[in-house]
Each structure stands twice: as C-alpha cells, then as structure tokens.
Amino acid sequence: MKIWQMTRVFNGFEVLKFSNPDDRKVFSDNFIGLPMKENWASIKVETYSKGKESDSPDGLLLAPIFSEKAVNLLKVFLKEDQVEILPISKYGGKKYFAINVINVLDGIDGEHSEVSRSRHGIILGYDRFAFKRDIVSGQDMFKVLNHETKRVISSKVFVSDRFRDKVIESDLQGFDFIEVWNSESTADQVEYSEISNSDKLYTFDEASKIAEDQNKTFVSGKWAIRFDEGKEFQIGQLQEDGSYNWVNPIYYPPIFIGMKWEESK
C-alpha cells in the first residue's frame, strides 16, 4: 500500500485567478479540515495565463480544484462525510469545484517519520512521512494531524493508490502525485520525494535568494529553480531524458513554499 501527496502539473496548463481579489481570503482562511459548505457562496474565476485545459488547475492557492469531469469520474472517492464539493464558476461557462477535505486523520507514525524542527523544538515540516497502517488503510483522500501538536497540516492532501490509479486510468489532465509512503518498504528505504540525501537543505525563500545572488540552481524532487542571464526567475521540470524543461513563470506554484531544496551539483 502506498500513500501519495496530490499535487498539480504547472508547465503548459492554464492557470486561474480570482475574478474578485477579495476572494483570496476565503481560500487562505479556510480549507483547514473543517466544514464550510453552509457558508459557501460560489466563487468566480477567470484565466490568468493561457495553456492546456486542466482537470486540476493551479492558481487558487493550495485548495484542490477539480473540473466537472474530474468530479464526475472521481465521485466514488468524494464521500459526503469526508469531502465537500464547492462550486466555482469560470467566465465562459466552464464549471470547476473547490475540494474541501474534511477527512482528517491522526495517522502519522511519529516514531518513524523524520521532521525538521526550530531551535525551540517545534516541528517545522516533515522530511519523511510514515503512517499508521491501521488508520490510513482504506482511506482514499485525507489530511492529517501533526503528530505532536494535533493541528491539521492543511497544505497537504493525501490519496490512496486507488485514487491515483483512477485519475491515470481516466486520463484526467493536470494531476500529479508524489509518493510519500510505501507500507511494504522499510523506513530507511522510503524517501519523501521532495527530500534528497544532501546534508544542506534550504527553504524556498533561502534557495531563491542564493540562486539569484550566486547564480546557482536548486532542485527538489522533479523540480528545479534558477535565474537566467537576464535575472528572470525560471522553473524547470525534470524530463524523462534527464534534462529540465525551463519556463519563465508568471508566478510560482504555492506548493514550492513547503518544499526543501538542495543545490544542484
């Protein structure tokens, strides 16, 4: 059994934005594992940058956004007591839905997880996830509690093999998945995909500043960041041949903020 973190593909796909900038607050203040359907008013969005249509578009902060097609095909996993499907309308008539995951599990195995801590001992993030199999088994979409503070880790949505397989089988576009745990592997074998074996890891802000000041490239999983000769920020996505496809983005994906980065050798 594997657990995957659900993310989105950035390169080449359309990016959305809020038609009313004030609606950003609705997204930034919510989607923290609590119900919000009763107070939801449909949000209007529009195209921020053009690209291929996505069934899981980026641009609206960290909340998962599904197309109508994705909602219909994944309906079996979107159980009413675990997920709220909140309507979003896009100029031009296309329907999208914000996915509010309220299925929150106390499922992190703190003994076998690896964390980064502040100098005061507070958990800043998880470098490697381990889960309690009896808790996450049979769960197709969920968020988890920090195993010490018992606060919701609201920025990450985890899914099962079944969910990921259905997305791939249905040819839904724009979804991406990071393997974060394999129940069949030992703790030493399961690496969180955003983390490497480097002794020195940086936050996104730290890596970006060094990249700009010292003309360096930083990598995290399949992603890379750098500045070009004109001092323009670039994002690279690893290709099958080992090269990177570099683009000058209008903005960077919010998921980058929580990732750890190492200098490219």
193, 225, 244 - which closes a domain: 193
User: Average pLDDT of the chain?
Assistant: 87
Residue with tokens 């997204």: 27
Residue 199 within a domain: no
42 band by pLDDT with thresholds 50, 70 and 90: confident
Residue 237 within a domain: yes
Same domain for 160 and 53: yes
Same domain for 37 and 102: yes
Same domain for 48 and 143: yes
- Of 193 and 26, the structure prediction assigns the larger pLDDT to 26
Contact 210/219 with Cβ under 8 angstroms?
Answer: no
Same domain for 238 and 216: yes
- Sheet with 83-90, side-by-side order of all strands: 15-18, 43-49, 83-90, 95-101, 65-67
241 band by pLDDT with thresholds 50, 70 and 90: low
**Whether the predicted pLDDT of 56 surpasses 90:** yes
193, 224, 245 - which closes a domain: 193
Q: 145, 141, 140, 118: which is closest to 129 by C-alpha?
A: 145
SS (H, E, C) 107-118: CECCCCCEEEEC
Same domain for 217 and 155: no
Q: Which residues pair with 126 in a beta bridge?
A: 115
Same domain for 155 and 221: no
**Whether the predicted pLDDT of 5 surpasses 90:** yes
Contact 49/11 with Cβ under 8 angstroms?
Answer: no
Same domain for 189 and 208: no
pTM of the model: 0.75
**Whether the predicted pLDDT of 192 surpasses 80:** no
Give the Cα separation of 242 and 194 in Å (integer). 17
Which pLDDT score, from 0 to 100, does residue 73 have?
A: 97
Same domain for 42 and 125: yes
186 band by pLDDT with thresholds 50, 70 and 90: low
- Of 195 and 42, the structure prediction assigns the larger pLDDT to 42
Give percent above pLDDT 90 in the chain.
51
Same domain for 127 and 34: yes
Residue with tokens 């996993």: 77
Could you read off the pLDDT of 109-138 as tens digits, one per residue? 999 999 888 888 888 888 889 999 999 999
Full domain range(s) for residue 113:
1-193
**Whether the predicted pLDDT of 38 surpasses 50:** yes
Same domain for 215 and 126: no
Give the Cα separation of 263 and 261 in Å (integer). 7
Count of domains observed in the chain? 2
Which pLDDT score, from 0 to 100, does residue 191 have?
A: 45
**Whether the predicted pLDDT of 240 surpasses 70:** no
**Whether the predicted pLDDT of 187 surpasses 70:** no
Using DSSP bridges, classify how beta strands 218-220 and 262-263 pair: parallel, antiparallel or unpaired.
Answer: antiparallel
Same domain for 247 and 153: no
Using DSSP bridges, classify how beta strands 43-49 and 15-18 pair: parallel, antiparallel or unpaired.
Answer: antiparallel
Mean pLDDT (whole number) for 193-203? 57
